[in-house]
Amino acid sequence: MLFDFPLPLAPEIARNVEAALAEDIGAGDLTAQLVPADRLGRASVLSRETGVLCGTAWFERCFVSLDPACRITWHCSEGQRIVAGQTLCDIKGDARALLSGERSALNFLQLLSAIASKARVYADAIAGTGAQVVDTRKTLPGLRLAQKYAVRVGGGGNHRLALWDAILIKENHILAAGSIPAAMQAARSIAASAGGRCRFIQIEVENLEELDTALAAGAEMILLDNFSLEMMRSAVTNNAGRAILEASGNVTLEGIRAIAETGVDRISVGALTKDVKAMDLSMRFAD
């Protein structure tokens, strides 16, 4: 079962899997031909570490694309915490299809489970503060929506999906516009002409003076770029609930709780999708 996401995921899953299988199998899996064409295969996927399961739809699509009659029985569900030594699923289908799809299927499951697991760790670290950890655009090319979906499965939130669905005004944009008020005004005009696809306008500020200027210009979402904890607390006081405040820059797991306790609403963490080590999962074939 897929978790809630801003865009339909079925077409994205199909695109991701088609590209992965084409990359790996190409004109045909030469080694799989060592197995008789009519042989039935059985396998199980085991977890070798603790984490959060994510990517089951991508995993299934890899095998069903090669063998529509393939059957996968899950022993845990999407978003569930898993432990080392746990059997995640059993698979039954054409033996050649299982062998050909194994690597691509595991690649998706290992990567997305790792991201969901990392998001869960960060979300748990700030539990009870009222702040939310969110991702960034620091994603693997071609897998952005899959990675952002995994962040949600792990308990995090999404920043903008891409350049097309929201406006983030940064220093260079402000310089080009001439001032923070001018940049805000131009952004509102662009958003109004975007046919409803602009979900929000956010502006980045580097100090408290810029924060006050942005608030005076009617900003509803403000990114606090590399603010110290003291500056964040002052920003929360000055803001007085008028805008959504997001802390960004050099956020670590060790320091994220202190940031959340300043009263900011969101904390963006590029490491959720950028610095990820695949979860250790293995697929074992039955004799």
Maximum Cα–Cα distance across the chain: 72
CB contact at 8 A, 116 and 156 = no
Distance CA 263, CA 245 (A): 9
Task: List Cα–Cα distances, 33 to 38, 39, 70, 103, 285, in angstroms.
Answer: 11, 11, 18, 16, 17
Residue from 90, 165, 206, 225 carrying the catalytic annotation: 225
Active-site residue flag, 148? no
Active-site residue flag, 242? no
Residue from 103, 199, 233, 257 carrying the catalytic annotation: 103
Active-site residue flag, 225? yes
Residue from 92, 137, 138, 257 carrying the catalytic annotation: 138
Residue from 92, 137, 170, 233 carrying the catalytic annotation: 170
Q: Which amino acid is at 96?
A: R
Distance CA 245, CA 237 (A): 11
Active-site residue flag, 138? yes
Active-site residue flag, 103? yes
Residue from 60, 102, 135, 204 carrying the catalytic annotation: 204
Work out whether strand 266-268 and strand 244-248 pair parallel, antiparallel, or are unpaired: parallel
> How big, in percent rounded to 5, are the helix, strand and coil portions of the chain?
40, 20, 40
Which sign, positive or negative, has the C-alpha torsion 16, 273, 156, 233?
Answer: negative
Residues with catalytic function:
103, 138, 170, 204, 225
